Every structure is written in C-alpha cells, then in structure tokens.
Amino acid sequence: MLYMKILESFLLDNNKIFFGFAYSLLSDDLQAQQVVIDAIYVLNLKRAELIEDLLTTPEKFKQVDILAQINKFILTQIFTIGQKRIIHLKNSIALDGGFLAFYNMATAKRALLFLKYKTQLAFSEIAEILGMNEFELMGLLSCAQKNLIENLGYDTKHLFTTGELITL
C-alpha cells in the first residue's frame, strides 16, 4: 500500500511535466491531458513488470531508478501517441496564439526543445525518448533552434556562418 502511494504521488507530481510535454505537441489542454492518461494506461499494459518491481522493491535507490524508467516510458508514450493524434486532429486544433513561432515547427523539433529546456533530462535520455541517436539529436537541436529564431523574426544568416572567415 505504501509503495502504491509512492507511485501515485510520482504520477501526480510529474503531471506538470507530462502535461506540459503533451501540450507542446498538441496545443490543446484537453487533448494533452488525455494523451497523458493514455500514456499511463499504456505503461500499465505494456510495462506492468516495472510497476510490480516498484511495488516490491524496498530499497530507495532501486525505487528511484525504476521511477526514472517509468518517467522515460511515459514521456516516450506521450511523444508516440501525441504524434499520431496530431495527424488526426491537425485541422481541428487551434494553435496557441502566444506561441505561434513554436507551433509552426515540426512535432519532433517541438518535443526536443521542450525536453531540452523545460526538463532536467540528460541528452541521452531525450534521444531515447525521441527514438534517435545523440548525433541525430544534436543536428535536430541546432535546426530546431534556428527554425524557432527565424520564426521569431530574427535574421540567422550570420549566426550559422559556414563560409571561410578571417581568423584573428
């Protein structure tokens, strides 16, 4: 019962991150919350052994490790489900007007920027969540930042100079 409480408070405390992540993909609060709930149900269906491990492990450090795995799994599911749902809801969702520059980017780029700047996840964990390797992710990050800066109306011509420059 005590371990069940640990899982419950983990899921409730992390809802801000889960919801924020889903919202960064879908731009609709009802849809975002539903995606989070769906992701938790998928966790129960596909990774029941993780929950079972958590409920039977008395060691604190193991619990922390299992919770980190659960966190990663839920975020992965949010990304997977969110990506599919956005295809169906594309025309029926009104984009959040305050963040148009952000929502005018591709889903993977939005997901990456949210996870990079709004969570404490390591680069390797983000790569795992988005299903890429770290090198691909680095390229995508650079591209996403450039896109966002451009969408915000800045000139990026000189930020990404690739030609030969004069050295000091």
Q: Which stretches of the chain bind other proteins, using CB under 8 A?
A: 1, 4, 7-8, 11-12, 15-16, 19-20, 23-24, 27, 29-30, 32-33, 36-37, 40-41, 44, 48, 51-52, 55, 96, 98-99, 101-102, 113-114, 116-118, 138, 141-142, 145, 148-149, 152-155, 157-163, 165-168
Closer Cβ to other proteins, 11 or 72, answer by number:
11
The least distance separating other proteins from the CB of residue 8, rounded to whole angstroms, comes to 6
> Cβ of residue 132: shortest distance to other proteins, in angstroms?
15
Choice between 92 and 161, CB closer to other proteins: 161
Q: Least distance to other proteins from the beta carbon of 84, Å?
A: 20
User: Which residues touch 9 (CB under 8 Å, ≥6 apart)?
Assistant: none
Q: How far is CA 133 from the centre of its chain?
A: 15
| Residue 137, number of CB atoms within 10 A of its CB | 23
Residue 52 to residue 112: CA distance in whole angstroms: 30
Structure tokens at 83: 């990506």
Closest CA to 129 of 142, 114, 143: 114
Q: Between 16 and 84, whose beta carbon lies closer to other proteins?
A: 16
Residue with tokens 């269906």: 45
